[in-house]
Amino acid sequence: MVVASLYEQLAALDKSHVWHPFTQMRDYNNADPLIIERGEGVKLYDVLGRAYYDGFSSVWLNVHGHNVPELNQAITDQLGRVAHSTLLGMANIPAIELAEKLVRIAPAGLTKVFYSDSGATGVEIALKMAYQYWHNRGVYAKKSFITMNQAYHGDTIGAVSVGAIPLYHDVFRPLLFPSHVVPYPYSYRHEGGAVGAKEETLSAIQTILETRSDEIAALIVEPIVQGASGIIVMPPGTLRDIASLCRKYGVLFIADEVATGFGRTGAMFACDLEGVSPDFMVVGKGLTGGYLPVAATLATDEVYNAFYADYEEQKSFFHGHSFTGNPLGCAVALASLKLLEDRKIVEGVRVKADFVAAKLAALADRSHVGEVRQQGLMIGIELVREKASRRSYDWADRIGVRASLRARELGMLTRPLGNVVVFIPPLASTVGELEEMTNILARAICEATEGS
């Protein structure tokens, strides 16, 4: 904890020099910034000593809480050996062990691990590999991708090219390669409900594949839960049917599990919920328990073998990053996966998800709550101006922002997605902690929307 004058100093320097992501700096600079000093368990503490539940897992990353002795120890142990050495043409111990571990827990058929350092780079790698897979096999026409409306796959140009959130992506459209965008099944806002939404998505994919599969390299999807669009859960069976359509028409299937991986949805991976084995799986966020920036793109033998050739053929995957396979990051990822197993975290998520669902059930009746969506410990609450007609709040109402700020005042951090209030607690949260967090959440939403 620091004295108030030091806070003032830090705040002034922050405003002078730090440009924050996804943040309108004019708004930011007009308020007192929240400056975090430390974390302990599922709480973060600011420099003035105030405690907050981490109700969005520091943007969907955190698994075991903060300042976890086992994770700290794994980093310290590795630090005593080496902090970083490259994976370009050589190896290191944690990167090898982590790859073996990932392959063991991943859906069947994913046998190769290509490391990077963020979800976006992991997605770039999947896109480039899918394209070059066909190229290396002499199939040059397959060079475009199918994505879903409102998809989010990260912020680099390739990942934005398969992104479809107008607010984030439209300004960059002239810089991007074009993708085929199909409707995402958004049951709440579809006339035909879940059945109609699922049907529309599958038939749109089928139509494109029937007519243009010879020019499509791959389809990319956020499996089961589309996150950044507002935590939108697919109707059951949709993911499985999309995967089989890809199989049928010879198009590679990329599962972006950056948000959903490592127990978040109540299964180790969202693909497991429907027995889907993708050609590529991208993981990030929770891979290191939310500790360090490591991501990975898993691929099949089939894909790998298309790059496996004589040196002269120049079929290598010419891609890599300075910190690819960073030993500190891989070491903490291994320790996080060990805790995930030892503490039966994934099984725990299912129990805790039921508890949270029961706690939030009453919220669905409130006059400005349109829908409470949940899969495992990913929860999105869509607020509406008018419940019966499902009329949305206007952008200028900042309703999600207001509800989230109220939650902060009440002692829990979260960050909205437009009119959707997000609740994505660390998986290790106890039932008692979830009880307190959901109380804050419900109260913040009621006060922000009903003024009481």
Binding residues are 119-120, 152, 256, 285, 320-322, 415
Q: Determine which residue in the list 74, 102, 120, 164 makes contact with ligand PLP, applying CB under 6 A.
A: 120
Give min distance, CB of 119 to ligand PLP, in A: 2
Distance CA 34, CA 56 (A): 15
Give min distance, CB of 380 to ligand PLP, in A: 13
Identify which range of 213-221, 240-248, 251-259, 375-383 contacts ligand PLP by CB under 6 A: 251-259
Distance CA 115, CA 317 (A): 13
For residue 78, give the nearest of 404, 408, 325 by alpha carbon: 325
Sign of the Cα torsion 250, 251, 252, 254 reads: negative
Amino acid present at 78: Q
Q: Which is nearer to ligand PLP, 118 or 265 (CB)?
A: 118
**DSSP class per residue in 434-451:** HHHHHHHHHHHHHHHHH-
Residue, CB closest to ligand PLP: 119
Q: Does residue 230 bind ligand PLP (CB under 6 A)?
A: no
Q: Does residue 376 bind ligand PLP (CB under 6 A)?
A: no
Distance CA 282, CA 268 (A): 13
Q: Which is nearer to ligand PLP, 298 or 442 (CB)?
A: 298
Q: Does residue 216 bind ligand PLP (CB under 6 A)?
A: no
Helix and strand counts by DSSP (H, E) for the chain? 15, 17
For residue 224, give the nearest of 161, 275, 157 by alpha carbon: 275
Q: Does residue 153 bind ligand PLP (CB under 6 A)?
A: yes
Q: Determine which residue in the list 39, 55, 65, 154 makes contact with ligand PLP, applying CB under 6 A.
A: 154
Identify which range of 63-71, 253-261, 308-316, 368-376 contacts ligand PLP by CB under 6 A: 253-261
Q: Which is nearer to ligand PLP, 151 or 340 (CB)?
A: 151
Compute the CA torsion angle 371, 168, 177, 304 (nearest 10 deg). -60
- Per-residue burial over 384-416, b = 16 or more CB atoms within 10 Å of its CB, e = otherwise: bbeeeeeebbeeeebbbbbbbbbbbebbbbbbb
Q: Determine which residue in the list 65, 223, 284, 289 makes contact with ligand PLP, applying CB under 6 A.
A: 284
Size of the site for ligand PLP (CB under 6 A): 15
Per CB under 6 A, which of residues 254..283 are in contact with ligand PLP?
256, 258-259
Task: Point out which residues pair with 282 in neighbouring strands.
Answer: 256, 297
Give min distance, CB of 22 to ligand PLP, in A: 10
Measured in residues, the chain has a length of 452
Give min distance, CB of 123 to ligand PLP, in A: 6
Q: Which is nearer to ligand PLP, 216 or 258 (CB)?
A: 258
Q: Does residue 329 bind ligand PLP (CB under 6 A)?
A: no
Which residues are within 8 A (CB) of 379 and not within 5 positions of it... i.e. 6 or more apart? Answer: 231, 356, 360, 372, 373, 422, 423, 424
Q: Does residue 222 bind ligand PLP (CB under 6 A)?
A: yes
Q: Does residue 152 bind ligand PLP (CB under 6 A)?
A: yes
Burial bucket for residue 177 (CB in 10 Å: 0-12, 13-18, 19+): middle
Sign of the Cα torsion 160, 63, 446, 402 reads: negative
Residues annotated within a binding site for pyridoxal 5'-phosphate: 119-120, 256, 321-322
Give min distance, CB of 400 to ligand PLP, in A: 17
What's the angle, vertex CA 227, arms to CA 235 and CA 118, rounded to 5? 135
Q: Does residue 200 bind ligand PLP (CB under 6 A)?
A: no
Q: Does residue 118 bind ligand PLP (CB under 6 A)?
A: yes
For residue 14, give the nearest of 27, 31, 33 by alpha carbon: 33
What's the angle, vertex CA 399, arms to CA 395 and CA 404, rounded to 5? 130
Q: Does residue 227 bind ligand PLP (CB under 6 A)?
A: yes
Give min distance, CB of 141 to ligand PLP, in A: 27
Q: Does residue 119 bind ligand PLP (CB under 6 A)?
A: yes
Contact 257, 375 (CB under 8 A): no
Give min distance, CB of 116 to ligand PLP, in A: 9
Q: Does residue 124 bind ligand PLP (CB under 6 A)?
A: no
Identify which range of 35-43, 118-126, 329-337, 412-420 contacts ligand PLP by CB under 6 A: 118-126
Identify which range of 80-88, 115-123, 128-136, 163-171 contacts ligand PLP by CB under 6 A: 115-123
Q: Does residue 352 bind ligand PLP (CB under 6 A)?
A: no
Q: Which chain residues interact with ligand PLP by CB under 6 A?
A: 118-120, 123, 152-154, 222, 227-228, 256, 258-259, 284-285
